[in-house]
Amino acid sequence: MQLIRTQKFRDRDVTDEAIYLSRRQIIGGAAAGLGLAGLAGPAQAAPEGLEPNAYEDIIGYNNYYEFGTSKSDPAKHAHSLTTKPWSVKIDGMVDRPGDYGLEDILAAATIEERIYRHRCVEAWSMVIPWNGFTLSSLLDRVGVQSGAKYVAFETIARPEEMPGLRFPVLNWPYREGLRLDEAMHPLTILANGIYGKDILNQNGAPLRLVVPWKYGFKGIKSIVRITLQDKEPFTSWNDANRREYGFYSNVNPQVDHPRWSQETERVIGAGLFGSRRQTDMFNGYGDEVASLYAGMDLKKQF
C-alpha cells in the first residue's frame, strides 16, 4: 500500500509547500515502514521530474563562508545578518543606474517557482524549489547599454554581522560574474524564496543568484551590487585559485577538479547511506545552454 501511494509523488506540478512537506513526510514514513529494503525503492527510484530535497536539507547544509566554512555554520550564524532595509546598487553601463530598494525590485517582478538541481563544485547536489524572477527582467528594466558584455555581482560585507569575514579565506566581498548572454538567459534567476517562504539568511537572503548549469559557487548570495561592464569581472574563487575555479565553471563531468573527479555527485539527503548519481553535462540543462558555448574549448576555458 505504501508503494502504491508513493507512485503519486512522481507528479511535479505542485506549488503548495504544504503538499511538498506532506509528500516528504509520507515518503519518509513509507521508507521507515519498509525498512532498509524500502529505501532503495520509493525514495531513490528515478522520478520523472526533479524531486525536491527536504526543506531541512536545503536550510541546514550550506556554503556561506562569510559565516564560517563548515556546512552547519550558516544555519547557526547567519541569523545575525540584517536584511531589512535592503537595496541593490545597479551601476556601470546601464541607462538607469541607482540604488534600487528591494521592495521596488520585487514589486515589479513576476515571481515564479523554479525547481533546479544544485550541483556544488565539491561534488554534491540537491534539488531546490526556488521562488524568484529572471535576472533578464531586472536588467531590461534598468536598460543595459550596448557596450556591456559582462555582469559583476557583489555580496554584502558587514564584519560586525559576518564572523567569517575575519578570516582571509577569500578576497571579500564575495564577488561573482557572468557573461551578459548567460545573465540574460531565461534559466538565470534571482531568488528570494524557497518552498514558497522568504529565503533564509543561510541561503542568501534577501536576494541571491541561481544559475543552474554552473557550479553552485557562481550563485552569489545576499547581493548588494550589480555592475554592467565590458571587462570580465573579478571573481573571488577564481582569484583564490584560478587553476581550480574557472570564470565559466559550467558543470562538466569531463573536466575534473584538480583534487577530485567531477564524474559523479553525492546526493544530499538520499536515504541513510546517501547515494551517488552521474553528473550531467551542464548539470542537465545542455539543451537550453550548450549553444552559448559553441566553438569554445570547455576543457581550456572552464
- Interface contacts to Mo ion, rule CB under 5 A: 63, 120, 216-217
Calculate the alpha carbon distances from 148 to 106, 164, 226, 227, 239 in Å: 24, 33, 12, 10, 22
C-alpha cell at position 196 = 514558497
Give the residue with the Cβ less far from ligand MTE, 9 or 217: 217
Binding of residue 117 to ligand MTE (CB under 6 A): no
* CA pair distance 290, 206, nearest whole angstrom: 30
| Residue from 23, 77, 117, 118 binding ligand MTE (CB under 6 A) | 118
Cα–Cα dist 240/219, whole Å:
17
Least Cβ distance, residue 158 to ligand MTE (angstroms): 12
The span from the CA of 30 to the CA of 25, in Å, is 8
Mark the segment that binds ligand MTE (CB under 6 A) among 17-25, 28-36, 56-64, 98-106.
Answer: 56-64
Site for ligand MTE contains 279 (CB under 6 A) = no
Phi-psi region of 270 (alpha: psi -120 to 50; beta: other; left: phi over 0): beta
CB nearer ligand MTE, residue 2 or residue 234: 234
In angstroms, what CA-CA distances link 61 with 57, 74, 266, 281? 6, 8, 13, 24
Q: Among 204, 233, 246, 269, which residue interacts with ligand MTE (rule: CB under 6 A)?
A: 204
Does the footprint of ligand MTE cover residue 120 (CB under 6 A)?
A: yes
Residue 65 interacts with ligand MTE (CB under 6 A): yes or no: yes
Task: Using CB under 6 A, pick the residue from 193, 216, 233, 246 that binds ligand MTE.
Answer: 216
| 269 touches ligand MTE (CB under 6 A) | no
The angle subtended at Cα 116 by Cα 162 and Cα 246, nearest 5°, is 60
Site residues (vs ligand MTE, CB under 6 A): 62-66, 118, 120, 155, 174, 203-204, 216-217, 219-221
